[in-house]
Structure formats: structure tokens, C-alpha cells
Structure 1
Amino acid sequence: MFDLRYHIASLVAVFLSLGLGIIVGVTMVGDETLVKEQKILIDRLENDFRLLREKNLAVQKEIEEYKRTIGWLNGFAESAVPLLIKECLTDQRLAIIETGGYGVSPNLLTKLEEAGAEVVSVTSISSGLGAKGKELARVINGLSDSISEIDCYSFLAEEIGKMLFLSEKSTLQLELEKAGLIKTAGRYGDTFDAAIIVGGAKDENSVLVREFDLPLMKLVREKGVLTVGVEPSGAAYSYVSHYRNYADIVIDHIDTIPGQVALIWSLTGIPGYYGLKPGAQALLPALEDQFLTLP
């Protein structure tokens, strides 16, 4: 969109210049023809300014119409989603691990519960962990063999992968929580059907996809658990190109209603990459056959 303030400032500058020119022209030349030509130019510029203002008002009106339309569509989607996901994930248990600083949306948790799933645990990695290597290495080395700062992230991934399957907290887990490097909620040690890794990094210091996310995905898959990689559509640093080689399901717009529906539908047994970015198979899984069998 054009910058209206810039154009107004330019027109004002032109008017001032023309006004000064008229004064100088009349004083020095006294030529009525010059004055008439300048008046014609001023009238033309005034008309251009009027048209510019009208165009800006029209654009603003169009934007407001788009906003209203989006609001109606979102309202419709929110009303329709419970019917689209009802009982899709009955009796499924899920573990969620958040790695990139975007957090786990309460709306996502609500949608999973509405679909019948049980989120047994939520594990969050400290935002900006990439800049906390020394602190992480210090905590780890205080309880185990010497681990370099470079290797501490993959070591943490392995420990969290183990932690998901253990009911009792290890000493290392307690120390990591105490240091604020991880947060945990829910029940650990319970069996679960899928592990959802919520990635995509908010800032450069949170980018640990190779050092943390991928080793964690590999470990979970080796345990025979369905592995899911998701990120918000506006992730500053996208992980999907990496996730596609390690996860059974990839969703690149988990912050949207379609993304949450895509996750739930794909968990019914339709693995793949769904989303908005290049390489995605589709926005949503094809669910026609499954709809016919849902209760």
C-alpha cells in the first residue's frame, strides 16, 4: 500500500515551492502568463490530491470489509470445528514437547480434548536455550560424565526422550527444572500413542532443530511411537524442511484452525505433510472415507 503521509508531504512541498515561484515571478517578471500556468498546475495538483485521498478512503473501506469477512469465517470455523473433530481421537494419548519458544496454545489443547484425546504430559524447553549452553552443560556435568557445550543439547534430547517413558523424576530432571531450563506438566511414564514436537524458533538463540529436535524425534520413533512435528505459520525460523525427514506427520500452520484440524485428522491414520508452505501435500488430509466410519 502507498504511504499517504509521504505523498501529502510531497504535495505540500510542491505547493510551497509554487507559491514562492508565483511571488518571485510577479515581483521580478510581472508576467501574467506565468501566473496563469502556475495556477493551472496548482489546480491540477489539488485534483490529484483529492483523487489520492478518495483512493485511500476506498482502500481503507476495502480493508474493513476484508476484516469483517475474516471475522465471519473464523466465527463459522469455530462453530463448525467441534462437529468436524468430534470423537476423532477417542482413547488416544498424546505427549507434547515444545522446543522453539512459541509455547503450547491453550486453544490447541482444547481442540485435542474436544476430539477425545488425552494429553498426558507437556514438556517445555527454555526459550533461547541455544544461548544457555554453558549453564546447561554445568547442570549436566554436575551429575554425569563430562559433556561438552556442543554435545549438551543432544544429551538433553536423549534425557527428555527417556523421561517421557519414566514415571519417577530423575535427579537430572529435577535439576533442569530447578534451573529453569525445562518445565514439565502432567503424568510421565504413561503409555502414549503419539509425541507432538512443537517447534519453529522465535529467535536465533532458540534454533536447535539439528541439535535437539531431530535427535528427540529419532529416539521417539525408535520406541515405536508416532512422531509429529508442528510449527506456527509465522515461525521466524521454520523447521518443517528438517521435520519432513524424521516425523510421520508435519503441520506448518498449527496456530490456525485449519492447522489444528489437520493435526487431528492426520492422527486418525493419515500421515503426511499438511500446511501452507512449499512442499505441503495439501491444507488438510483427505478424510472422506474416515467420515463415513466415524460414530
Structure 2
Amino acid sequence: MINFRYHVVSLTAVFLALAIGLVVGTAALNGPVADSLRENVNLLRKDNQQMRQSVNNLQKELDSEEDFAAEIAQVVLPGKLTGKRVLVLSLPSGRQHTDGVVKMLDLAGADVTARVELQEKFINPDNNSNLMELAVTAARPTAPASGLPGNGHGVETSSALLASVLLDRAAGAAPVSEPDRRSVLGAYSSAGYLTTDDRVTKSAEAVVLVSGQPYVDKDSVKKDESVVKVAEQFDRTGSIVVGGNGSAGGNVVAVVRGDPVLAQAISTVDNANTVQGQLVTTLALVQQLTEKKAGHYGVGDSAAAILPKLPQ
């Protein structure tokens, strides 16, 4: 049987071994190992400083490019859209850079007929049935429901109705009356599907759809599909440029560029979240209205060029 003295001796041996290990380890660390660790720390510190400096330099370059774009816009934009009536339609994902887009349109002399902001509720697939019903109840004599898509997609049907009161009608078609336009917009605004300013007094001949990154939640596929439906319906009625942020994933810029039919009709800009992209968005609209031509611009891999060729 193991007695108490054996336990004492065993524990003493264990603690003695630990003490010897600490002494030996400390001595080793004070030698080449410590020097090596110290050198590695210094190298990492230098790398970190260099990376921080690189980030600062890149930010300065970006700021300079943005300043340059703002300055060059003062030269190339004035008069380019004089007399052109333009609707600005923004999605929740593009709200932060809508003001910049409007600023460039104003600089080009565009008559911004309205700023309409679609709310998240409009894109939410849970509201599909409600949007279908609202499109029917909100319709008016000069904006009837008879010509709206009837395939059961609420965003598509409601977008078609909104496009019919916000954009010009086809040649020969009767225009929407002002009371009917106000009534349709009021119905969607009261239900929380959109907000708009007070200057919607006439229709537009073109629309800039301001969007952003693709959705990433559990309903992302359906929401991204709904955004594309909005673009498609407004494209059926007038010229359209999508000013977006990025060209990957399921966002509307990526989908349009990947669709051979939509790509021929809808212009896209993948960096409208920057001053440069907001300038290019306006130039793309000039191209749409003067040349009747769609183009795809920005810095993404799927862009055809940074900006359209300016007319001589």
C-alpha cells in the first residue's frame, strides 16, 4: 500500500521538475529563441505599418479621383439633358447614393419630374398578394388594370401600373390624367409601399433606377428577382439606366448584364455609389436618349468600358 511519505516524495519531484523546466525554458528564451521572436515581432510591426500606409495612400487616391470626377462633371454635363424629363426611382439598397445621382442629373439640366423611393415592403415577397390586389383597386380610368401583367407576380403588376402613371405613354395612347396619377401614387404611398416628393406633375420620358448590393437574407433570391421585375416593367415604358453598386451576385446590374435581351435595352453602371459612377450614370442616360443605345459601364469585370464615348 502506498503511504503518505511516498505521496510527499512524488509531489516534491513533480514540483522540482516544473521549477527546473521554468528555469531552463527562461534561459532558452533569453537566448536565440527570444531573439528570433523579437525579430519576428519587429517584422510584423513593420508590415503592419506598411499596410496601413498603403491603405491611407489608396484612400487619398480614391478621394482625388472623386474630386476629379466632380470637377470634370462641371465641364462635360451642363446642357446634356436640357429639356429631358427624368424620373428617379430608388430602391432601399440604393438610397444612400440617390442624392449624388440627382445632383448630376440637375447639373446636366434634366427636368427631374419626381423622386420615388420604393420601400422594403414593396420588395418583400410576403406582400405579393397584397400588391396584386392593390394594383387592381388603385387603378383608375386613365390608368386601367386591364393592360397590366396578370401572371400573379405582385411586384411586376404594381410596377407596370406605376410605370404607366410616371412615364410617357406610347405614341397615340391617351395620357394619364393628373387626378388619376395622384390617386394611384397616393394609394401606394398610404399603404407604405413608396414615398415620393410633391412635384410629380408630369410624366417622364426616361428613368434612372438607383440600386445597390444584392440581398443576403433568407428571401434574397425572391427579392433580387423582384428588383429585376421593377426594371423590366419600367423599361417597357421608357428609356432606363440602372445605377447600381457592384455587378456580382444576384443584384439587378449582374442580372441585366447576364441576360442577352435585357442587356440590349437597359443600361447599367456598377459604381453609382461613387461620384465617378454618378457622373457615368448621367452620361449613360444621355446615350440612351440621344443614341437609343444601351451600354454597360463601371469597374466590374462585366463592364464594357468605364464610361460611354462622348458625342463629338
Match of 2:71 in 1: 79
Deviation at 1:86, TM superposition (A): 2.1
Residue 43, structure 1, aligned to residue 56, structure 2? no
Match of 2:204 in 1: 192
| TM-score, scaled to structure 2 | 0.70
Match of 1:62 in 2: 54
Which stretch of structure 1 is more off in the superposition, 95-104 or 147-156? 147-156
- The whole-number CA distance in structure 2 between the counterparts of 1:174 and 1:37 is 76
Match of 1:183 in 2: 195
Residue 285, structure 1, aligned to residue 308, structure 2? yes
Q: What fraction of aligned residue pairs are identical, expressed as a percent?
A: 17
Find the partner of 1:122 among 111, 115, 123.
115
Find the partner of 2:281 among 248, 263, 266.
263
Match of 1:240 in 2: 253
Letter in 2 for 1:160: L
Deviation at 1:201, TM superposition (A): 5.2
Q: Quickly say closer, same or farther: Cα 1:26–1:78, change in 2 above 3 A.
A: closer
- The whole-number CA distance in structure 2 between the counterparts of 1:56 and 1:201 is 30
Q: Give 3-state SS (helix, strand or coil) of 1:122's partner.
A: strand
The two structures, once aligned, show a CA RMSD in angstroms of: 3.6
Contact map agreement 1:233 1:255 (CA 8 A) in 2 = no
Q: Quickly say closer, same or farther: Cα 1:22–1:187, change in 2 above 3 A.
A: same
Find the partner of 2:268 among 245, 250, 268.
250
Contact map agreement 1:163 1:188 (CA 8 A) in 2 = no
Q: Quickly say closer, same or farther: Cα 1:278–1:56, change in 2 above 3 A.
A: closer
Q: Give 3-state SS (helix, strand or coil) of 1:95's partner.
A: strand
Q: Quickly say closer, same or farther: Cα 1:96–1:136, change in 2 above 3 A.
A: same
Residue 110, structure 1, aligned to residue 103, structure 2? yes
In the comparison of the two structures, how many residue pairs are matched?
Answer: 263
Structure 1 residues 7-61: Cα deviation after superposition (integer angstroms, max 9, x where no partner): xxxxxxxxxxxxxx9952476xxx89x9458622112212221222222223223
Find the partner of 2:166 among 157, 164, 167.
164
Match of 1:11 in 2: none
Deviation at 1:275, TM superposition (A): 1.6
Letter in 2 for 1:193: E
Mark the runs of 5 or more structure 2 residues left unpaired by the alignment.
1-16, 140-144, 168-175
Deviation at 1:142, TM superposition (A): 6.0
Match of 1:226 in 2: 239
Which stretch of structure 1 is more off in the superposition, 227-236 or 107-116? 227-236
Q: Quickly say closer, same or farther: Cα 1:282–1:24, change in 2 above 3 A.
A: same
- The whole-number CA distance in structure 2 between the counterparts of 1:154 and 1:26 is 73
| TM-score, scaled to structure 1 | 0.73
Deviation at 1:261, TM superposition (A): 2.0
Mark the runs of 5 or more structure 1 residues left unpaired by the alignment.
1-20
Q: Quickly say closer, same or farther: Cα 1:250–1:74, change in 2 above 3 A.
A: closer
Contact map agreement 2:210 2:242 (CA 8 A) in 1 = yes
Deviation at 1:274, TM superposition (A): 0.9
- The whole-number CA distance in structure 2 between the counterparts of 1:96 and 1:155 is 20
Q: Quickly say closer, same or farther: Cα 1:126–1:281, change in 2 above 3 A.
A: same
Residue 155, structure 1, aligned to residue 149, structure 2? no
Letter in 2 for 1:152: G
Letter in 2 for 1:24: I
Deviation at 1:283, TM superposition (A): 0.9
Contact map agreement 2:91 2:211 (CA 8 A) in 1 = yes
Contact map agreement 1:22 1:38 (CA 8 A) in 2 = no
Deviation at 1:285, TM superposition (A): 0.9
Match of 1:272 in 2: 295
